[in-house]
Structure 1
Amino acid sequence: MQLRQANKTDVSQLINMRLAYLAEDYDGLTEEQTDTIRVQLLDYFGKHLNRDLFVYVCEDNAVIVSTVFLLISEKPANPSFLTGLTGTIMNVYTLPHYRKRGIAGNLIRMAIQDAKSKKLSYIDLKATQAASSLYRKLGFAPDESKYLSMRYYINID
């Protein structure tokens, strides 16, 4: 097995891994959702891969079996992120047959090293209860904030 950073030749497999992750996370996807997401991801990876989205993969016999995405955002600096650069870890996904082998942890370590070299102020993520112990072992801690996280959904018709 080989751990490495993804490149443009991996886009098809990255899309399949993202769809597998989403299907598991959302307890399935409709055909319409799958088709719409697949089209968006093809465009998205073309624009963002290795620019502000870095993907770390584990490959077994030329098949990607695990992924970790690091999405970098640049914002106006403040005392919480002096460089103005922050990262979000997402799409931590390993095919079921390859789980419990330490692959995801190794890919996250790669992402952390890359984030340090890119001078990010911090990396955040949203963890399931099941995965929170892995993230704690890697140095992540719950985010204590005086701010309430809120979201506004925009309906697109």
Structure 2
Amino acid sequence: MSDSTVVITDNSEVVLHFDLKLSDGSAADSTRVNNKPAKLVIGDGNLTPGFESCLLGLVVGDKKSFTLEPKDAFGSPNPDNIYHLDRSKFDGDTPAEEGMIMTFSQPDGSELPGIVRSVAGASVTVDFNHPLAGQTITFDVEIISVV
């Protein structure tokens, strides 16, 4: 049972709508686009600690806006996450084009998205940092239910 007196704490199951906006006001992500609220458990790793800390203490019906610096949102870009790959690793089905987001298979079988930052000669620069790394984010939330 959820009611408006249940306060969000560690391990709370929360259903919420959220909007992520960049410092220029442009939308980065929103659950409202498809009217599908997000469901998460505080502490399950779906949100970074910076995002989760914004939710602690809120109750059903709360609408809040938080501004998160990069360190509390998606982190700062890490130069070690930028790789220079040989253009021969790309083929006609998946040509390397600047701005493309591609998925790369890891040795353990998992997949990791990367953004092609530049194509120069035989070298393709791929950035594996989160696309929003280094960005100040406005996190608007509306709490729908808390269990």
Bucket of the pairwise TM-score, normalised by the shorter protein: under 0.3
The structure that is helix-richer by fraction is 1
TM value normalised by structure 2: 0.28
Larger radius of gyration: 2
Report 1 or 2 for greater relative contact order, CA contacts < 8 Å, sequence distance ≥ 6: 2
TM value normalised by structure 1: 0.26
